[in-house]
Structure 1
């Protein structure tokens, strides 16, 4: 919810060139309609491009060219004289050819779909598939090249009044360097620019690649809000030769996918010959406007069926909330007369709140990559590719201004000049601060001290009644080596104060090693949290402390907990650690909920438990994106598998501990991409406690008595309906990403996405644990038959471009209820997504 509310506060491209000649403009017909996919090239050269869906084009070259030629089937060709080396905003009108009006063929989405055999584009696509593994740098034994990347982040459709107030006396000097939306005269206001230079080495025989960062710098307003960070990092490596292109964890079908004919309509344009080389142009259009697909064109070389250039853009009807558009352009240059190698990648993303309308204010990100200095077949020792230069601090690859000016193009130099002034604007900083508060939930009180989260200040349960909570944390940047964090909470029914304090310190960045300590005095729903996460203090908004819930719940435990943790990262995303803990546990409502057990040694009934433990754990998250050089790493949104294995040892008579026991638990999650068929998200969990322990130390099957979806819990179980010391459970969801509903008339206008769910658990409870039980809970485990829930749901629910909600319809199988009232057999639950 944080991500979406932040956009409400926001209501308030770059192209690289080393060019001597640059032209930017738009093509229209005599009726003022844009002309897409027209050929635009410098006269008597092979340097050319095509206009995009809106008729816009940009063309540049390192050489001087005096003329520009524009041609398109059915229109008269035009030759434009270029009086200046840099010509921007030129408007060119093409006239229809009077002699061929009856034969004009305008490339557009075909009204009749052709079969593969009928469509001449299919023959070209088959050749692309056959040759895709033998294209580009894959043709050489080894390769190396330089890569220069810039990422520009900012606000778009900003009116001149806002820009003038933001820049004040700097406006006149900077305004000429800012990009303007020619459709409505508003500004693109960049607020941050990141530049990176890299050296890339690869050996195709060894199937190894090494990437060395050479230089890196970031200028502008430091983005500490999650939404702006995620927008800035939305574009990773996009390989058009893959069947699926992953963006925001959604699978977009590539236009050259082997499954492309199920998603796209293709139109083959006539072939062209330039300098004795033959090229084909294919236009592609999504069959269903709401699908995760693109519209655009690509040029293919006849000799080896390599992609020479490709341009593609999402449609406004695309069923993805908060995204106005994505645009991609990739161009390739020829090397040694046969190898087409990457020359330039241009990625553009535009994000808005209410609608996808062109007038609405939003956030934009432009990422550009330029490749140069290619060398092939320079053999290096295999050990060379195993050497890795680890980045362990922010300024590790800092370079002076002279270095960056040498790499910068004119366009990027202008962006840099604007960002350098914007970073000191109080007005723009005020906007980004509001975004930070709404996305992260923390408010700066003084330099280095924040209070929050504002999203976890109020909750309710039957023990505490209404609960007020306020937390704090030390925070200067995300790269702080030391972080202090804590909270105070008060229940208006039990009239008791709760509190917690935690400290985390980064001992070393290579290897990454952290030390954490915490103390907690609070009420908890035992068994709800299988494992702790990064923090030792549980998050404030867990299910037992939600504002709304069904039925009654007095099953809370009062816990006083002291904890110490040591964590070591053996290799990227592979962590080993140990946590020691001293816990005192008793019922938070002893008159209504008992945690009593029989102490067989003294033959007495005990109501409190002292639990002294050590936990040894292994955490493995391959493919997880992390960044930052402080104690708290920033985690990206890319889907990845995760494995957590935990072994707990309880100690009797050590620091007052009451029980010796051993427990092992495992949880594994793996989101599996199934291309256009969606995402299958599977979670498996298992655990076993080997000795007899009381209810306060047993594993209650994770239940959920709120009306909201909580991951990996059972929505139609009450707390402590099932208690087990051995269990195995699975939680499965399949998200169709609009595949089904996009094809149903009328329903597709709602832009909903469907999903299926199934979750189940099997477990047992030992007679020894039952024998010492004296609590008010009757021990029951799902051992006679597994317990399971199943259902379907709809997500992407909302209005306009705001679609954060999900609704699930859930049923369960029968089970005998011993504790509390009989559970419903059917329920409706609501979820709120925190990502795009």
Structure 2
């Protein structure tokens, strides 16, 4: 997701068929902007509100001659429109507004008591479970979705820039956004039609995608995954609306009264239903909140339509505006169903009005609802594949029959525009550059291989010195049933060549039966994870970190061969069986020893471990969503839990293996959205080794001597400071997303984010295992006297990309060279 965001920024740096368009500013008699003023076309329900700076833009497909502008405490005025297009208007409101006949209006800072808007809100809470799809045992409906990306704020400077020299034709058909009033140029369009089935009794739901169509980026699963991750489904009736990895308090939330002001401003018929209009806006700045208004029915208290706009002060990065509209359809006197959902996001480096950016627009239309038609449980287990060639090659007749909302002029032109652009060499160059930066691989189409990844080319450690690495992988398409990958690396200090090769083969698509294997000979910093993997191409950041704390010399030569089979008998439940043969030895014997007592060795001491293991791993990831059907798939969310159970059996004597032992390990990782208080990430790990094994096969409590903040490690522990054969560890990390700092006046505008962490580990190490590794030159100790623990206080979102953690050691301060305090950090793009 982060790399795709970078793709959007790169494109940024380098178009509605409305009859009436109006834009301008609303001010008071002292020329001060009036925020949240109501703007409405006369004799219609089409309207908007002004933003924080008093500015507004509104458009309609109908002809209108008059605007109605109102705000509590001011006189309501009717403003005549001189033509179909009216820009840069300045509308002055006079103080002393009249009360409406139908309702009582409160103004100023809104009280939570004796407020009719909040009385209505309470009725919404009582009735929300009785409205919509929840009212029925089963439901099904048609769903049509279109997602569009546009370059916005087009001006003459951009058109004449060197970046678009030779591409001027793309600017021939610019248009204006009905939300922001900015010119834009469409560059991407995705359409999807599907049928959705649900059962509220089981409960269960499934979506069968029957057609999918992209403009310009066919089958680009990385882009599709980003879109689906960014535009997750949400329900305005929920207490919190989640998108961009953040939880925004819904204006319909039971906790909304603590963060929003509510004002009852109007009541009228919408269709044949009498509805109230309520405006809401934040009580404080810099919180994850919205501003806007909604219409609610006076008897069912179901929302008829609602708009939500993220406030400009909200603690969000790379996003200037988010605007949401939802319209609900009246099925009968008591059932209101979501009919249309529109969301516009303005991605930009800066939040200034004139800054250029990328629009991301999603429109979802729902129709043809049917209820109480039961389906067997097996029906919901059979999932459709949206990347099936049949789904991707639907003809024009299919789309004409199944588009629940027609394409406008600009959207229709996107397909033609992209077909033309793909024939222009300069555009191909731009696309290739963005693809390389996003994926990390350089595509060589004529050979069907990718070179890379480019982010692993350079490294450094004490054993190898400067290290260079080059690699490649086969790539025929995004859904390849098999993939080969490999690399070579060279260390300028040890003057040795390293390598790694792997292959994966999808033998059965339905059960995802995969055969894989590989071999690696390299230098690695082991012990960065209690639950180790046998990934032959993986490499930790600690193995190549340029800057470290203390002596980073406990590196290992590893010669690893693996073969595995994997199957997914149930969705998100994987079973992996395999074997591995590895040889381990110290990469710097004078500083770090893996020696152990070996009666068969000439000297009675061996410095190399040769071990064959059989592994069985069960992985369950409930809630995980993926796309694609090849041997490698794309994840489209990161809010799922992961449960892992691993059993390892070491065989003595087989392939000259040295040790007989068993190891059982378990881990459980769960992210939690804690309402408006941010995101908590938790991990619990436990394991035990049965039998006598040397240091190289024990469980090392993962220390961290790098300057990077690495989750699941202990930043104040040195590598190999604690070693165990039995352990239990807990990691907790909570990101408040600026909830606390937003209440501190001098910190509020910095949009910083507070992070706290707490982690602990308890473990034992048997006397037999200590004695077996007694020849090693590092002390072997386990945190058995008491739980070793640390805590950290972090500040994130510094300059939007930097996070700094201050880490404190809780105990075991008497250990040799114990580090009571450390500072770590990380860089990254996040919303």
User: Once the two structures are superposed, what CA deviation does each residue of 1:506-527 show, in whole Å capped at 9, x if it has no partner?
Assistant: 2222122222111100011222
User: Residue 288 of structure 1: which of 284, 288, 296 is its match?
Assistant: 284
Report the TM-score when normalising by structure 2: 0.89
Asked whether the equivalents of residues 12 and 358 of structure 2 are also in contact (C-alpha less than 8 Å), the reply is no
Secondary structure at the counterpart of residue 118 of structure 2: helix
Could you say which residue in structure 1 is the equivalent of 2:439? 440
Q: In structure 2, list runs of 5 or more residues that go unmatched.
A: none
Aligned to 2:620: 620
| Separation (CA, whole Å) in 2 of partners of 1:24 and 1:553 | 65
1:698 correspondence with 2:693? no
1:613 to partner: Cα distance: 0.7
Q: Tell me the distance in 2 between the aligned counterparts of 1:572 and 1:589.
A: 45
Say if 2:251 is the partner of 1:255: yes
CA distance in 2, matches of 1:385, 1:130: 33
Task: Measure how far apart 1:720 and its partner are.
Answer: 1.1
The whole-number CA distance in structure 2 between the counterparts of 1:67 and 1:5 is 41
SS state at 1:316 partner: coil
Task: Identify the range of structure 1 (178-187 vs 676-685) with the bigger mean alpha-carbon deviation.
Answer: 178-187
> How far apart, in 1, do the equivalents of 2:271 and 2:465 lie?
80
Give the alignment of 1:275-674 within 5 angstroms: 277-353=273-349, 355-377=350-372, 379-383=373-377, 385-386=379-380, 388-391=382-385, 393-397=387-391, 398-406=393-401, 407=403, 409-411=406-408, 412-447=411-446, 448-531=448-531, 536-600=535-599, 604-674=604-674
Distance 1:186 1:72 in 2: 22
Deviation of the 1:263 alpha carbon: 1.4
Counterparts of 2:827 and 2:484, CA distance in 1: 29
Q: Deviations over 1:387-445 (max 9, x none)?
A: 63431744232311222234261413244443443444444443333233223322234
2:132 to 123, 132, 136: 136
SS in 2 for 1:810: strand
Measured on the aligned residues, the alpha-carbon RMSD in Å equals: 3.3
Which 10-residue stretch deviates more, 463-472 or 324-333? 463-472
- For 2:82 and 2:301, locate their aligned partners in 1 and report how far apart those are by CA, in whole Å: 34
Q: 2:801 aligned to 801, 804, 822, which one?
A: 804
Bigger Cα displacement from structure 2, 619-628 vs 412-421: 412-421
Q: Give the 3 Å change call, closer, same or farther, for CA 161–69 of structure 1 in structure 2.
A: closer
- In 2, are the aligned partners of 1:51 and 1:57 still within 8 Å (CA)? no
Q: Does 1:762 align with 2:758?
A: no
CA contact (8 A) 1:209 1:385 kept: no
Are 1:30 and 1:93, in contact at CA under 8 Å, matched by a contact in 2? no
Alpha-carbon distance, 1:446 to partner? 4.7
SS of equivalent residue, structure 1 residue 655: helix
CA distance in structure 2 between the partners assigned to 1:30 and 1:833 by the alignment: 40
What aligned pairs does 1:37-436 form with structure 2 within 5 A after superposition? Answer: 38=38, 40=40, 43=43, 48-50=46-48, 53=51, 54-60=55-61, 70-73=67-70, 74-77=75-78, 89-91=85-87, 102-103=96-97, 112-159=108-155, 175=171, 177-180=173-176, 187-204=183-200, 207-222=203-218, 229-230=225-226, 233-274=229-270, 277-353=273-349, 355-377=350-372, 379-383=373-377, 385-386=379-380, 388-391=382-385, 393-397=387-391, 398-406=393-401, 407=403, 409-411=406-408, 412-436=411-435
Contact 2:261 2:280 in 1 (8 A): yes
Q: State the 1:42 CA deviation.
A: 7.6
- Which one is further off, 821-830 or 50-59? 50-59
SS state at 2:215 partner = strand
In structure 1, the partner of 2:794 is: 793
- Assess if the C-alpha contact under 8 Å between 1:146 and 1:372 holds in 2: yes
Q: 1:58 to 1:304 in 2, by over 3 A?
A: farther
**CA drift at 1:39:** 5.7
Change (3 A) 1:575 1:684: same
Preserved contact between residue 295 and residue 313 of structure 1 (Cα < 8 Å) = yes
Contact 1:144–1:200 (Cα < 8 Å) also in 2: yes
CA separation of 1:550 and 1:203: change in aligned 2, threshold 3 A? closer
The structural deviation recorded for 1:482 is 2.1
Unpaired runs of at least 5, structure 1 = none
Give TM-score scaled by structure 1 length.
0.89
* Aligned equivalent of 1:813, options 810, 815, 821: 810
> 1:547/1:794 Cα in 2 relative to 1: closer, same or farther (>3 Å)?
same
In the alignment, the residues of structure 2 paired with residue 114 and residue 133 of structure 1 have an alpha-carbon distance, to the nearest angstrom, of: 28
Q: Secondary structure at the match of 2:676?
A: helix
Q: 1:152 to 1:422 in 2, by over 3 A?
A: farther
Instruction: Please say which of residues 421-430 and 677-686 is displaced more in the overlay.
Output: 421-430
What is the number of equivalent residue pairs in this alignment? 807
Correspondence for 1:826 = 821
Change in Cα spacing, 1:8 to 1:299, as seen in structure 2 (3 Å) is closer
Measure the CA separation in 2 of the matches of 1:466 and 1:499: 16
Counterpart CA distance in 2 for 1:506 and 1:834 is 33
Distance 1:507 1:328 in 2: 44
